[in-house]
Amino acid sequence: MKVLELFAGVGGFRIGLENSDKKYFQTKWSNQFEPARKSQDAFEVYNYRFPDSENIGIDINNISDEKFKSMDADMIVGGFPCQDYSVARSTKNELGINGKKGVLFWQIIRAIQDIKPKYLLLENVDRLLKAPAKQRGRDFAVMLTALNKLNYSVEWRVINAADYGQAQRRRRTYIFIFRNDLNYAKKLDEEFENTNLLKNEDTYDEYIFKSGLFAKEFPIEKKPYKNRKVFYELPSDIVDTSDNFSGKVFNTGIMRHGIYYSIDTKPLETEKPIPLKDIIQNEKDVPEKFYINNEEKLKKFKYLRGPKRKERKTADGHIYTYSEGGMNPTDDLNLPGRTMLTSEGSVNRSTHLLKINNRYRLLTPVEAERLQSFPDDWTKYKIVDGKKVEVADRMRMFFMGNALVTNIIKRIGDGIKKIDLNEN
């Protein structure tokens, strides 16, 4: 399978797929560009690690249709930004819509139109399914409607990596998209053949709990949590979905021919997560700069991690009370890590604070890489003007805050390979 990796970062999707089967999944093209930064560090790390592919370091908006059409990719993968997906009418756009400026999901849609891949594998934050706050689920419904118009089906699942044996409590939405003319899709149509407009719970339950991609690779309890489930028929018009969506989207679901079935699911608690104590480096390998010897900094961490209740005022004069619960003074080494953010390593409430041998310290870049199941020192070097250059620690932590757990992608890759082998 030939793969195009969009929003590639430092190569998390590629690492996961190659760990599944390097010969089967061959990433031929990648695109990585950080519009808010002058230096393109992630692209330079990717270039250093993967010099064998065509790595395109420009804004995806500036990749021409001709360039996309020249890529005969079987699969597109990527972790795209979570933005506002509301749309407006436009006569210029082939889909009859005009996404808000800068919303990069529409660039994925453009790539699909140009390349027509068999599959896509996308990743996003779990709140995607509940956005925006005033019309929960609308953004994801807009995406489903757009993909349906292009003749694709969609399966999704919110996966917490720690529930499936990983070292980080990181919840992310994984989205598997497949073309409707594939045998994999036609087989589903045969199962739906004698049902009423695809609205048969038993057929969907068979797929969601047993035969689907995520069901096989990430087992779940065999009934909806608190009986939360919903069928929803999407409008054929994307703007109609954007303006009038009134359904719900739970953490698991499948969309076929414009109708989706979504349920709330819980993982089977059969896989033990990796605790922090098993991923931290030997203390003799930890440079002194990661230890905190400054009492003021420790006091700041204590304050940030403690409970708070403050009176605040909005710009228009409204007074409200802001409250925040307390955390443990330091991270429990017997538990998996918390969700890493791009601020990891700074004096911040979300930063991991370790206490080992009665000394306080931060995570090292290697430990951050291990939390995301990257190889040690994956982000240590980059290529700049043909020269190998070391990457700053702060930037390495930023990379990992943006990255994904590659072992989750490895398992999804295992499932996609089985599907594609049957297709062939």
Listed by start position, the domains of the chain span 2-269+406-423, 276-386
- For the stretch 129-145, pLDDT in tens is 998 888 899 999 999 99
- For the stretch 260-309, pLDDT in tens is 999 999 999 899 999 999 999 999 999 999 999 999 999 999 999 999 88
Whether residue 160 contacts residue 267, with contact meaning beta carbons closer than 8 Å, is answered with: yes
Catalytic one among 82, 230, 347, 389?
Answer: 82
Residue 284 burial by CB count (10 A; 0-12/13-18/19+): exposed, middle or buried?
exposed
pTM of the model: 0.93
157 a catalytic residue = no
Whether residue 208 contacts residue 231, with contact meaning beta carbons closer than 8 Å, is answered with: no
- For the stretch 160-189, pLDDT in tens is 999 999 999 999 999 999 999 999 999 888
- For the stretch 78-108, pLDDT in tens is 998 876 666 655 444 444 444 554 478 889 9
Q: Does domain 2-269+406-423 have CATH number 3.40.1280.10?
A: no
Work out the mean pLDDT of the chain and round it to a whole number.
Answer: 92
pLDDT at 97: 44
Q: How far is CA 130 from CA 74, 139, 326, 376, in A?
A: 30, 8, 26, 35
pLDDT at 84: 62
Nearest by Cα to 46 from 7, 104, 72? 7
Amino acid at 119: Y
Answer whether the bond into residue 132 is a cis peptide, omega within 30°.
yes
Going across the sheet that includes 75-79, the strands are 54-56, 26-31, 2-6, 75-79, 119-125, 171-179, 152-160, 252-256, 259-263, 229-233
Please write down the long-range contacts of 147-150, taking CB distance under 8 Å and 24 or more positions apart. 147/109, 147/112, 147/177, 147/255, 148/234, 148/255, 148/257, 148/258, 149/95, 149/236, 149/238, 150/109, 150/112, 150/113
Radius of gyration of the chain (CA): 22
C-alpha triplet 22, 27, 32: angle, nearest 5°: 135
DSSP letter at 415 equals H
How many angstroms separate the CA atoms of 323 and 181, rounded? 52
Nearest by Cα to 44 from 394, 382, 314, 404? 382
Structure tokens at 227: 């009986």
